[in-house]
């Protein structure tokens, strides 16, 4: 059944086996233009995000961030990954986003920025991961069921 005869032989075989490194050293992932790319998702929105070193300019669908996301709350959402990673104003962002509403699109761009940052500089992964920015928020709108007004709401009941 086995070539190992004693406990000592088993210990020596186990000691000689290659040990997987606990901490995997990650390499930066950049294209030929020095950019990092990532896809971010939130609700129905999907964002394609490229980051590169720069002055902190954020462009979404060809428009400046302040023009595309007019609400200050949405702009704050986009700035969160840079604040957590402590790299404000060091990267230019170009994003194309489609689907969903503005809030979902802002969340998708935030997710994409976070993933692209950790690909560009793997040392930032710990801060982004602990803040929960690398996890895709899987909550989506529940589908409408037949016999119901919405996903769960019933039609109004009338006794007579």
Does residue 6 have a pLDDT over 70? no
Residue 14 confidence (pLDDT) above 90: no
Residues for the chain: how many in total? 160
Q: Where do the structural domains in the chain lie, given as residue ranges?
A: 27-125
Q: Span 119-142, mean pLDDT?
A: 93
Structure tokens, 43: 């609700």
Render pLDDT for 65-78 as a digit per residue (tens, 0 to 9). Answer: 999 999 999 999 99
CA distance 20 to 72: 46
> Which CA distances in Å does 97 have to 82, 104, 160?
19, 10, 50
27-125 to CATH, choices 3.30.230.10, 1.10.3720.10, 3.30.830.10, 3.40.190.10: 3.30.230.10
pLDDT of amino acid 158: 92
Q: Which residues touch 61 (CB under 8 Å, ≥6 apart)? A: 68, 95, 96, 97
The pLDDT score that the predictor gives to residue 39 is 96
Instruction: Give the separation between CA 47 and CA 61, rounded to whole angstroms.
Output: 10
Give me the chain's average pLDDT, please.
89
The predicted model scores a pTM of: 0.80
Q: Is the pLDDT of residue 146 over 60?
A: yes
């Amino acid at each position: 059944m086995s070539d190992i005869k004693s406990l000592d032989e088993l210990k020596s075989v186990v000691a000689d086996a290659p040990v997987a490194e606990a901490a995997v050293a990650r390499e930066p992932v950049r294209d030929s233009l020095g950019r990092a790319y990532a896809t971010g998702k939130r609700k129905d929105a999907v964002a394609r995000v490229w980051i590169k070193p720069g002055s902190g300019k954020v462009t979404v669908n060809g428009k400046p961030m302040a023009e595309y996301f007019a609400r200050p709350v949405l702009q704050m959402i986009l700035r969160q990954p840079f604040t957590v990673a402590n790299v404000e104003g060091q990267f230019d962002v170009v994003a194309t986003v489609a689907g969903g509403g503005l809030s979902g699109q802002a969340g998708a761009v935030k997710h994409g920025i976070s993933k692209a940052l950790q690909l560009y500089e793997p040392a930032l992964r710990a801060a982004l991961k602990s803040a929960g920015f690398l996890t895709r928020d899987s909550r989506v709108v529940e589908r409408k069921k037949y016999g119901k007004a919405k996903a769960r709401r019933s039609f109004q009941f009338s006794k007579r």
